[in-house]
Homo-oligomer: A and B are copies of this chain.
Amino acid sequence: MSKTIFYHAGCPVCISAEHDIIDLIGKENVEVVHIGENRAGLEEAERSGVKSVPALVTPNGNVLHINFGASLAEVKG
């Protein structure tokens, strides 16, 4: 089983959701990727179907967009 990945861009909505997700799922069960600082991560997020951050990609590949911090277009600038 592959890992759950939490994509974010450092925005306040992202940080708040990150804390909530880590509390719910456990820090050891989720990989956190900052797509503002990690270009490869941003491209990986796009390929996974992530449209906005914060978003969680589950081990089976489903994308859960959580609240709304920023669109990927905004992060790309």
Contacts and interface: CB of A to CB of B under 8 A. Distances in A.
A16 B16 CA distance: 24
Interface string A32-70: 000000000000000000000000101110111111100
B62 A64 contact: no
Measured as residues with beta carbon below 8 angstroms from the partner, the interface class of chain A is 20 to 34
Majority DSSP secondary structure for residues of A touching B: mixed
Contact of A66 (B16, B23, B60, B64): B64
A20 to B, nearest CB: 5
A25 to B, nearest CB: 5
Nearest to A64: B66
A15 to B, nearest CB: 12
Interface of A: 4, 16-17, 20-21, 23-25, 29, 56, 58-60, 62-68
